[in-house]
Amino acid sequence: MGKFDHLSTELEQLCNEGRYRPLKIWDSGSDTWMELSGNKILQMSSNNYLGMTNHPDLQKAAIEAIEQYGVGSGSVRSITGTLRIHDELENELAKFKGTEAALVFQSGFTTNQGILSSILGPDDVVISDELNHASIIDGIRLTKAHRKIYGHKNLEQLEDCLKASASFRSRVVVTDGVFSMDGDIAPLPEIVQLAEKYDAIVYVDDAHASGVLGRNGKGSTDHFNLHGRVHIQVGTLSKAIGAVGGYMAGSQLLKDYLIHKARSFLFSTSLPPSVAAACLASVRVLKNEPERSERLWSNTLYFRDKLQKLGFDTGESETPIIPIIVGTPEKTNKFSDRLLEEGVFAQGIVFPTVAMDKGRVRLIITANHTMDDLNFALDRLQHVGKQFGLI
């Protein structure tokens, strides 16, 4: 008996269920067309919403920062790892989000993990949408707080949870701003109203809303004009912003608290200065080039409308995240593989990320897709969709 037999048994099980997926090694950088094993593939599953990953301003800022600061920050933030560029980025993010302060973490994942695990204690309750991101779920698992899960966007259940939570020291309602697997938008105005009625804190993860919703991509709080009524906004620097990292936008008090208490912030080396500089340049591009998000939305509306007219089930999508519901994990991954043979990459998302019969390929539209790109994808999707009996 080998020491890892139990792990290989689990992997075999994944294989049998059609859920074993080796990593794809792409031979070119993140772009609308990418190279895979010598073939040019149209990318329909990247989070590079605004085409920032190869924006010249960001590249220039990163190179200049390497020349000025070197490649690494050398330490965690609380020792020698807070460089001027980190401070500038946080000030710019706070200005952009319209909050008192912002604090940058190493990723969106560790932002959620670090905040939830530190602000919540055994006397508190956290109330979370059932479809919130894994990093929220894991952050909650790290706390001793009481946990309540409400049905997806189910305001009646949310109110029931709030009503039953009056005796706790604090109540935190946490929701994704845009849900990552379905591309639907949280009913934030109603959530805020309920939170105000029951004296709760509102926490929004805007990973897929930053750069996408709101004026110049300021996120769901701006989209719904709820400034000052959402207490904690989380964003990622790895999707629309185009690099890597995460941040909290909120009060100065919260920032100070997290600096001292959030373990993922305290015990992990800070972002490389080149990344911080690229992110800073990206936020400035967002402000100065609103045509990027306009193009993102016109591409999205065009593409979703065409998909629906072809007869595809696009679920609840309201944003550039557009699922095509396929079914079992096996069928979903086969559909994704067939599309790849046709030159289109659309990631299969299967159980346990989504329900067993709700496997889907998740398409993500970007500002940099041209009309020709979108029409090519539609043509191939129609062809393969008919073979799979989806349309």
What residues are labeled active site?
Answer: 180, 208, 239
Nearer to ligand PMP, 205 or 222 (CB): 205
User: Interaction with ligand PMP in 243-262: which residues (CB under 6 A)?
Assistant: 246
Count of other CB atoms within 10 angstroms of residue 51 = 20
**Does position 107 bind ligand PMP by CB under 6 A?**
yes
Work out how close the CB of 246 gets to ligand PMP at its nearest, in angstroms, rounded to a whole number: 5
Work out how close the CB of 108 gets to ligand PMP at its nearest, in angstroms, rounded to a whole number: 2
Nearer to ligand PMP, 353 or 375 (CB): 353
**Does position 208 bind ligand PMP by CB under 6 A?**
yes
Work out how close the CB of 368 gets to ligand PMP at its nearest, in angstroms, rounded to a whole number: 20
Please tell me what DSSP assigns to residue 321.
E
Residue 246 near residue 116, CB atoms below 8 Å: no
Exposed / middle / buried, residue 289 (Cβ in 10 Å: 0-12, 13-18, 19+): middle
Of 160-168, 183-191, 204-212, 366-374, the window that binds ligand PMP (rule: CB under 6 A) is: 204-212
Distance CA 27, CA 357 (A): 33
**Of 307, 255, 289, the residue nearest 93 (C-alpha):** 255
Work out how close the CB of 342 gets to ligand PMP at its nearest, in angstroms, rounded to a whole number: 26
User: Interaction with ligand PMP in 178-197: which residues (CB under 6 A)?
Assistant: 180
Distance CA 366, CA 47 (A): 8
Say which residues have a Cβ less than 8 Å from residue 45's Cβ, sequence separation at least 6: 345, 346, 347, 361, 362, 363, 364
Treating both helix axes as pointing N-terminal to C-terminal, what angle do 108-119 and 134-141 enclose, rounded to 10 degrees?
30
Nearer to ligand PMP, 108 or 250 (CB): 108
**Does position 264 bind ligand PMP by CB under 6 A?**
no
**Does position 148 bind ligand PMP by CB under 6 A?**
no
Interaction mask 128-147, ligand PMP, x per CB under 6 A: -----x-x------------
Nearer to ligand PMP, 49 or 198 (CB): 49
Count of alpha carbons within 13 angstroms of residue 87, beta-carbon side: 6
Residue 352 near residue 34, CB atoms below 8 Å: no
Work out how close the CB of 262 gets to ligand PMP at its nearest, in angstroms, rounded to a whole number: 15
Nearer to ligand PMP, 198 or 203 (CB): 203
**Does position 108 bind ligand PMP by CB under 6 A?**
yes
Helices (H), 34-167: 56-69, 84-97, 108-119, 134-141, 155-163
Work out how close the CB of 372 gets to ligand PMP at its nearest, in angstroms, rounded to a whole number: 29
Query: Where do contacts with ligand PMP occur on this chain (CB under 6 A)?
Result: 107-109, 112, 133, 135, 176, 180, 205, 207-208, 236, 238, 246
